[in-house]
Structure formats: C-alpha cells, structure tokens
C-alpha cells in the first residue's frame, strides 16, 4: 500500500515561488511510490479561524472543512511546505492547520522550508516543530531548506543551479526518514489503539 502523504502549502501571494517546491516534492514522492496530494491553503480558501472543525455539530461543518478533515484523518503522513514571513510562519498555512486538532494525531510530519534569502526559511521551520508537536504529530528529524527559491527551481518545479542540485542531494534521505516514520506509525496504530 502506498503511503498517503498530504503536502500542505500556505502562501496566498500572487507571485508564489514556494509552490514550485510543493510541486517538486509531490512529484518526487510519487516517483518513489508514495501517494502524495497537494493541499494548497489558497485553493481550499478557509476563512480566518472562528470555529474549529470539531466545534461544529456533526454534519454541519462547511463542505470544504468536512472534505479536508476526511483527507487529514485518512492520511499516513504530512509534509508542511513553509515560507518564512518576518522570522515566522506563514499565516495561511497556520490558519489551515489550526482548523483541526485530533485529525492530525498519531502520524509523522516533515517540514520543507524556503525563502528568497539565504536563511531558507529555517526560522519558520523551527517554529513549526513546536506547533506540529503540540498538535499531536511526530516531527521527523530530517528537513529540507531551500534558499533563493526562485533560483533553485524553475517555473516547472525542476531543480536548477546550485540550490536545485542541493535539493536533489538531500531529498532521498528526507524521504527515507519520512517513509520510516510513516511505516512505524502505521504499524503501531494497527498493533495498539492510541491512548486517547
């Protein structure tokens, strides 16, 4: 059975560069035999958080929220593709994530960060570690950080230049780490019911 991985992306900007990294990751995971799906916060279009999914009476959540809840519940793992905004995390991705809680539990999460500058979104990736852990996910130790995003992937999400070559070098270990934790979590959930 192929690992069902949600690749979550959160920029709402009109000239989005990070979407290239999201598309690259979907394609690279698929080439390894996984079953990835891109969840683009801008396309999902959830409102600023007013009521979490779990706060709606059963059957009364908006259709987009209900559909996304089902995708999260049935995923084996998550990959958060995040830019860095003023040393912090993207509000669009955080807003999408915060609509849910229990739906995320007991699965691994990976982080791929990017920025136009040389820090490659590292500060946002660090902030995401605590957030994702608090939301019941196990964050894998491997990460991807792409600086100069516009010079590392072309418009078709194909690696270019030194940044693209670096991405291609680190991706296999990153994907192996995510696959290992995905398998471990799946086996443990089948062996023993989560404690809550």
The pLDDT tens digits of the residues spanning 54-106 come to 999 999 999 999 999 999 999 999 999 999 988 889 999 999 999 999 999 99
The pLDDT tens digits of the residues spanning 10-47 come to 999 989 999 999 999 999 999 999 999 999 999 999 99
Sign of the CA dihedral with 41 first, then 42, 45, and 46 last: positive
pLDDT of the residue at 196:
82
- Average pLDDT of the chain, as a whole number: 96
How far CA 49 is from CA of 19, 171, 176, in Å, comes to 23, 33, 34
Instruction: Give residues with Cβ within 8 angstroms of 56, minimum separation 6.
Output: 65
> Where residue 194 falls among pLDDT bands split at 50, 70, 90?
confident
Share of the chain above pLDDT 70, in %: 100
The neighbour count for residue 179, using CB atoms within 10 Å, is 20
Q: Which domains does the chain have, with CATH numbers?
A: 4-191 (3.40.50.360)
Question: Alpha-carbon distance 183 to 188, whole Å?
Answer: 9
Place of tokens 């130790």: 141
């Amino acid at each position: 059975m192929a690992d069902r991985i949600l690749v979550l992306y959160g920029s709402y900007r009109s000239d989005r560069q990070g979407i290239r990294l999201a598309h690259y990751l979907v394609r690279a995971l698929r080439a390894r035999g996984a079953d990835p799906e891109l969840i683009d916060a801008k396309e999902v279009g959830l409102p600023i958080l007013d009521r979490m999914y779990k706060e709606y009476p059963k059957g009364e959540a908006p259709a987009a929220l209900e559909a996304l809840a089902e995708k999260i519940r049935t995923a084996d793992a998550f990959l958060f593709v995040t830019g860095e905004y003023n040393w912090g995390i993207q509000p669009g991705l955080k807003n999408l994530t915060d609509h849910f809680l229990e739906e995320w539990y007991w699965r691994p999460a990976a982080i791929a960060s990017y920025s136009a500058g040389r820090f490659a979104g590292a500060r946002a990736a660090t902030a995401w570690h605590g957030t994702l852990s608090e939301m019941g996910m196990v964050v894998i130790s491997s990460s991807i950080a792409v600086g100069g995003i516009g010079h590392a992937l072309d418009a078709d999400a194909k690696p270019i230049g030194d940044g693209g070559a670096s991405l291609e070098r680190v991706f296999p270990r990153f994907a192996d780490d995510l696959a290992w934790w995905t398998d471990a979590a799946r086996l443990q959930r089948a062996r023993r019911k989560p404690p809550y």
